[in-house]
Structure 1
Amino acid sequence: MHLLASQIAAATGGTLHGPDVEVSSASIDSRSIAGGQLFVPIVADRDGHDFIAGAVDAGALVYLTDRAPDPAVAATAVRVADTSLALADLGRAVRAGLPPRVVGVTGSVGKTSTKDLLAGVLATTYATAASEKSFNNELGLPLTLLAAADDTEAVVLEMGARGVGHIALLCDIASPTVGVITRVEAVHLEMFGTLDDVAQAKGELVDSLPSDGIAVLNADHQIVRGMRDRTQARVLTYGVADDADVRATDIVLDEQLRASFTLHSPWGSTLIALQARGEHQVPNALAAAAAGCGLGVPIEALAAGLSDATLSGLRMEMTTTASGVVVINDAYNANPTSMAAGLSSLARLDARRRFAVVGTMAELGSDGPAAHREVARQAADLGITVIAVDEPAYGDGVAHVGGVGGAVAALGELADGDAVLVKGSRVAALERVVQALS
């Protein structure tokens, strides 16, 4: 969105210092500044104000600051009380000028993939903006709104939470008219506390919807299905359940783990063929279909949008090495639900030997040790050899190694017919194993 510095000052209650120039988007990272942007210095582990001069040198035309502007910095400044709160205020101001098609997507698992699939669906019919990567918090969400083009007709916003009240805050900024909830699982319990707390937090999305909005709920998940009582909006359900409004039958995976199925909906039925890999992407596609059709996307366009949609990186990326080894890079994140889905996908491959190189599943609280042992048990039942990297909680019966080198050494001499899944929480950064294998 193009904004004048004076509009930024008005939206944030700030004071303008310098020429009233125009910016096209915003950044909180001085290393990735593009010319013509607004720089928002965030005070966290490091003070973003220390990088204002560098951001201006890189092309920022305007910057926010909570202190007196530096006269040696040759750019317009807007002085505000708190730069993080000012960024949220800017998000609200931009949202007020957008059309009503603003979709929030949340859930314990699948929200980024659902966001990607829905963006592909809506883009067939509307000029669509969507969260980059996993820009899903109180900083990333307003940055997404500020990055939307002036002609934007629909926006898809991923919404994450670290506790009760966080999604309510994001909804206060974004005012979504459609809310999609994937699943509620016992993940991030170190931050939430209990599964009930997770459900309370995720349900804040449907709490916020207007009466003429749409709540898109997973009919196959009882906790999410029950959230229909928390919203005044119209409810659309999705899943394989017979009573789901949007449902899938005849699910088939090809040799590349890409799912195809027949989609049934109030708007008609059609064959869907996904590029996204894994049967666990089917419910994500159904959620995107329900939201898309609810917003007026024709079912023929819907099928094309789902077929063409690509997912954010490090999610079920499949490659084959020069020696014929199939490597599945699902290293972006991991929790018990997504780990089970990854193992199930690996087991579906036609392979001579199957290995899972796994890292820690972070933020599970007191449930962590048992959850890791359960993953090891599931892998054993599927005939998968587990190599655990820097995580002893997977217990006996698996190979425990240190670092990337240890994982590659434990895999040994791989050959045509072998398949390797690489998966762990973001802190494990196991994509390094994929790079080594490649």
Structure 2
Amino acid sequence: MIEFSAAEIAALTGGVLVGIDPEGPAISVTSAATDSRECITGSLFVAKPGEESDGHLFVGAAFERGAVLALSEREVPAPSGSAHPAVVVPDAVLAMGTLAAEVVRRLRAAGDITVIGITGSAGKTTTKDLLAGLLSAQGPTVAPRGSYNGEVGVPLTVFQAGWDTRFLVIEMGATKPGHIAYLASLVRPDIGVVLGVGSAHAGEFGGVENIAKAKGELFEALAPAGTAIINADDERVLAMLSRTTAKPAFFTSSDDFSPVGDRVVRARNSTTTPDGNPSFTLVLPDGSEHDVVSPLLGLHHTTNLLAAAAVAFEVGCVPAQIAAGLRTLAAASRWRMERTERSDGVTVINDAYNANPESMRAALRTLAELGGGQRRTWAVLGEMLELGDRSIEEHDLLGRVVVRLNISKLICVGPRTRALFNGAVLEGSWGSEAVHVDDVEAAERMLTDELEPRDIILFKSSNGAGLRFLGDRVAQSAPDASVASGPAVTTDAASTSQSQSPATAGGPRPDAPGKAQQP
């Protein structure tokens, strides 16, 4: 983070300085955190209220770890009786945004930085990880940790940037119209990418068309000199072309798409290998063609690969290096089609970080393809959250898809997956092919009793269902498990669960629901 004085932060945010001796040395910060455990010497601790806890309860802990200033919504007494040094503001999260906007402004004024914004109903984090890998070969690159994509996560990502940062990659999520417009106003992206529009969180938005309007806010925020990277395979994204004055560039898996101009990144002969890895011929706007087999898992990742390639080409990456990167880069964030091969031959696919009807179908298709009629397949599915009035219908339809794909065993976990189970039964799943269990513990007992060597098991649900932690435990329940694709899997499932969940003893985590990560 570039350096700010306490006085500068107060002036920028309209805050009030408290607990600072006007005759004492000036206070400056060189990093920022919303989790007291992540504070280091010189940190600004943002004491934001959280859904799990209140950051003001951990101001003291932050200062013990090296914080020198708090950005808070009230004074917090220090052991000496005076207040901890702080800038007190009405809304700490909005103040974070203001400070992040100033960071970007100063970086633009001082040097050559390109800001890339990515949004879409699915694939944002994987695309961000791919792009960070491609761009880091070109210059210092900053990208979000995990899925830091909301009004807390975006500023935290910006605060990681320094004077030498060449590329700043920003993932943007939203829970209502206007969110992406707000995030874009903070970072003013030079390049915007919209991956797709799905029905995830349709209940919150009031329908898919409103989701499209929200995602298109990114293109509206681009300046005429900017670039809009458009998924030409998604009609709703393609229609956003009329909402931007920026230069358009496209990516597609279709040979039939022929826009005006030649700024198209294309995948020809798109398919998957027997191991489920995307395989295609990458055709770049310069006419060069490159064979690509990605270590990612599932045909649906072709969209993310093409989007990353399109951005990399626009910023001047060498075509051969783009292709080489796509051949080697795997998902860097956890629980995204994360495959683990157990020593007993069981394959575990943990994709339980997020879920919507589109991503559920994609993951199930990959499971069916990997089974190939030769291996027994398990789908352990939890609830898809925030679908609103369509929830029962979408879960029912998903149960039918499981049967049509000939998935061997279906476990529906949780009381609100009853419609999923009923859909499978009505589609023709009889006997023990489909079961409904009340909780994760019951699903775990069943898997412990019934999993056999060479089985393939998929865990998929929305984040709040907690199936990702069950997936970790099952993946590591046999000795000598090794990761075949995706980020490294810890061998201590309990510590993984603790490290990824909202903090109970160190301040509210930035990944608390509704703050750092959004759909």
TM range (shorter): over 0.9
The secondary structure found in structure 2 opposite 1:8 is helix
* Pairing 1:55–2:76 present: no
**Counterparts of 1:92 and 1:435, CA distance in 2:** 38
The C-alpha deviation readout for 1:263-299, integer Å capped at 9, x for no partner, is 1121322222322211111111101111111111111
Q: Which residue of 2 aligns with 1:96?
A: 105
**Counterparts of 1:34 and 1:300, CA distance in 2:** 40
The secondary structure found in structure 1 opposite 2:251 is strand
The C-alpha deviation readout for 1:198-229, integer Å capped at 9, x for no partner, is 11110000000000100011100100001000
* Pairing 1:163–2:170 present: no
Give the alignment's TM-score, normalised by structure 1: 0.95
Q: Which residue of 1 aligns with 2:334?
A: 313
- Partner residue of 1:387 out of 411, 435, 450: 411
Structure-2 change in CA distance of 1:221 and 1:95 (3 Å): same
**Counterparts of 1:434 and 1:69, CA distance in 2:** 41
**Counterparts of 2:42 and 2:326, CA distance in 1:** 34
Q: Which residue of 1 aligns with 2:30?
A: 24
Amino acid at match of 1:147: Q
Structure 1 stretches (4+) deviating beyond 6 angstroms? none
- With 361-370 and 387-396 compared, the bigger mean Cα shift is at 387-396
Matches within 5 A, 1:202-351: 202-242=215-255, 243=257, 245-267=264-286, 268-311=288-331, 312-350=333-371, 351=374
The secondary structure found in structure 2 opposite 1:115 is helix
The secondary structure found in structure 2 opposite 1:357 is strand
The secondary structure found in structure 2 opposite 1:297 is coil
- With 235-244 and 106-115 compared, the bigger mean Cα shift is at 235-244
The C-alpha deviation readout for 1:288-314, integer Å capped at 9, x for no partner, is 111111111111221233233332100
Structure 1: stretches of 5+ with no match in the other structure: none
Amino acid at match of 1:53: G
CA contact (8 A) 1:399 1:410 kept: no
The secondary structure found in structure 2 opposite 1:93 is helix
* Pairing 1:175–2:201 present: no
Amino acid at match of 1:161: A
Structure 2: stretches of 5+ with no match in the other structure: 259-263, 426-433, 477-519
Structure-2 change in CA distance of 1:309 and 1:97 (3 Å): farther
CA contact (8 A) 1:27 1:38 kept: yes
* Pairing 1:431–2:463 present: no
Q: Say what the alpha-carbon RMSD is for the aligned residues.
A: 1.8
The secondary structure found in structure 2 opposite 1:97 is helix
**Counterparts of 1:88 and 1:236, CA distance in 2:** 29
The C-alpha deviation readout for 1:209-255, integer Å capped at 9, x for no partner, is 00010001110010000100000001011111222611101234234
- Partner residue of 2:391 out of 356, 364, 368: 368
The C-alpha deviation readout for 1:352-395, integer Å capped at 9, x for no partner, is 21110000000001111111111111111111121101121213
> How many residue pairs end up in the alignment?
438
- State the identity as a percent: 40
Give the alignment's TM-score, normalised by structure 2: 0.81
**Counterparts of 1:212 and 1:194, CA distance in 2:** 32
* Pairing 1:42–2:48 present: yes
Amino acid at match of 2:361: A
Cα deviation, residue 75, structure 1 = 5.8
Amino acid at match of 1:22: S
CA contact (8 A) 2:75 2:83 kept: no
Cα deviation, residue 324, structure 1 = 0.8
The C-alpha deviation readout for 1:294-345, integer Å capped at 9, x for no partner, is 1111112212332333321001111122211111011111110000010011
Q: Which residue of 1 aligns with 2:8?
A: 7
Amino acid at match of 2:48: I
The secondary structure found in structure 2 opposite 1:147 is coil
Cα deviation, residue 161, structure 1 = 0.5
The C-alpha deviation readout for 1:381-430, integer Å capped at 9, x for no partner, is 11112110112121332310122332133334322221101110001110
Structure number with the bigger relative contact order (C-alpha 8 A, sep ≥ 6) is: 2
CA contact (8 A) 1:346 1:421 kept: yes
Cα deviation, residue 145, structure 1 = 0.2
- With 398-407 and 376-385 compared, the bigger mean Cα shift is at 398-407
The secondary structure found in structure 2 opposite 1:161 is coil
Amino acid at match of 1:257: G
- With 76-85 and 155-164 compared, the bigger mean Cα shift is at 76-85
- With 414-423 and 240-249 compared, the bigger mean Cα shift is at 240-249
**Counterparts of 1:424 and 1:65, CA distance in 2:** 35
**Counterparts of 1:274 and 1:22, CA distance in 2:** 45
CA contact (8 A) 2:59 2:76 kept: no
Cα deviation, residue 155, structure 1 = 0.8
* Pairing 1:359–2:360 present: no
CA contact (8 A) 1:213 1:233 kept: yes
The secondary structure found in structure 1 opposite 2:450 is coil
**Counterparts of 2:340 and 2:236, CA distance in 1:** 36
* Pairing 1:86–2:105 present: no
